[in-house]
Amino acid sequence: MRRFGYSRPDDVGEAIAQERRFPEAKFLGGGTNLVDLMKMGVEKPAHLVDITRLPLTQIEERGNVIRIGALTRNSEVAAHPLVLAKCPVLSEAILAGASPQIRNMATTGGNLLQRTRCFYFYDPSYAECNKRVPGSGCAAIQGYNRIHAILGGSDHCIATYPGDMAIALSALGASIVVQGPRGERTISLDRFYRLPGATPHIENDLKPDELITSIEVPTPTVTGSHYLKVRDRNSYAFALVSVAALVDLAPDKHIRQARFALGGVAPKPWRVPEAEEALVNRPATEAVFREAAEIAVRGAKPHRYNGFKVELAKRAVVRALTTASQRG
């Protein structure tokens, strides 16, 4: 591990100033992803700005929006009465991720910024990784790509976004509030993450001197929701496919509104508005859900070892929407 400097500011403005002051600095929250990457030699910051003292741990309701501080621990979000009452799919998604010990340390903002779990990205002995070394190539395309993307990838990268919480936040239509030297701005979560294109090392819209301060979650008007995670083992494993689904049913069981996002299949939480629109004013049946699932994976480009994800994703969408409807 590279030697690094360390500082611990007490307010947001000073944290941003310190991150700008020290070359090659990184913000440190829970450290559950960053420290692992530092140990492996993937991340090599020269300075860490510890932000754990900043006053960013509130969870509060403002009108029809739940505002979650970026330093709120994942376990606190999952157990909070507001989240359980109004956005239970978010709690389900968080509890499907990692382990209790990690959820007790991981922060909300840090969770959104976790790096891909691509085998080749995590192992610096593989020289070809455009995320680590832009222009070096992508070993996964011709390598063992079972966990990799079938949607949204490029000739430069097929790594997937690994998290669970962001999948639920995408379906909920959440936004991310960031602060930097130019002030505060709000970015919708679906626009926050970038597809790899020719620059897979640029994963999101966060500027180098900006800090996530909170997440804003509109409280949905739905009758049922569900987070489904399909993985190789029942706990402490990343999703092969996941689906966060929200359904609002009329008394006659027709769908007034539906939203869903997929994880484990793309470089970002994958949401297809056309698939959601195909459900509106339709009966909540398996056949209708299957139509939406077909639209959701349209254009999929599987690779040698992950072709199974196409059908798995469709079945996961049907199952998640069915469960959400039954809960309604």
Q: What is the mean pLDDT of residues 285-296?
A: 98
| pLDDT at position 27 | 98
pLDDT of residue 118: 98
pLDDT in tens, 139-151: 999 999 999 999 9
Beta strands in 189-326 (DSSP E): 211-218, 224-230, 241-249, 255-263
pLDDT, tens digit, for every residue of 308-325? 999 999 999 999 999 999
For the chain, percent of residues with pLDDT exceeding 70: 100
pLDDT of residue 4: 97
In whole numbers, what is the pLDDT of the chain averaged over residues? 97
Contact between 60 and 66 under an 8 Å Cβ cutoff? The reply is: yes
The strand pair at 241-249 and 255-263 is best described as: antiparallel
Proportion of the chain above pLDDT 90, given as a percent: 98
CA distance 68 to 12: 16
Q: Output the six-digit token pair for 223.
A: 């009758």
Residue 79 has phi, psi (to 5 degrees) of -100, 0
Q: For residue 107, what pLDDT is reported? A: 98
Contact assessment for residue 241 and residue 312, using Cβ atoms and an 8 Å cutoff:
yes
| Rounded alpha-carbon distances, angstroms, from residue 91 to 44, 76, 77, 164 | 33, 10, 7, 10
pLDDT at 328 over 90: no
pTM for the complete prediction? Answer: 0.98
Which domains, from first to last, does the chain contain? 1-52 (3.30.43.10), 224-327 (3.30.390.50)
Residue-wise pLDDT tens digits, 204-243? 999 999 999 999 999 999 999 999 999 999 889 999 999 9
Please give the pLDDT value at position 66. Answer: 98
- So what's the pLDDT on residue 318? 98
Asked whether the beta carbons of 116 and 162 are under 8 A apart, the reply is yes
Quick one: which H or E segment has residue 180?
strand 175-180
CB 243, CB 99: distance < 8 Å: no
- For the stretch 1-49, pLDDT in tens is 899 999 999 999 999 999 999 999 999 999 999 999 999 999 999 999 9
* pLDDT tens digits, 234-287: 889 999 999 999 999 999 999 999 999 999 999 999 999 999 999 999 999 999
Q: 258 forms bridges with which residues in the sheet?
A: 247
Query: What pLDDT, on a 0 to 100 scale, did the predictor assign at position 54?
Result: 98
pLDDT of res. 287: 98
pLDDT at 169: 98
Task: Give the β-pairing of 224-230 and 211-218.
Answer: unpaired
β-bridge partners, 257:
248
Give yes or no for residue 75 having a pLDDT over 80. Answer: yes
Q: What is the reported pLDDT for 201?
A: 97
How far apart (Å, rounded) are the C-alpha atoms in residues 100 and 176? Answer: 25
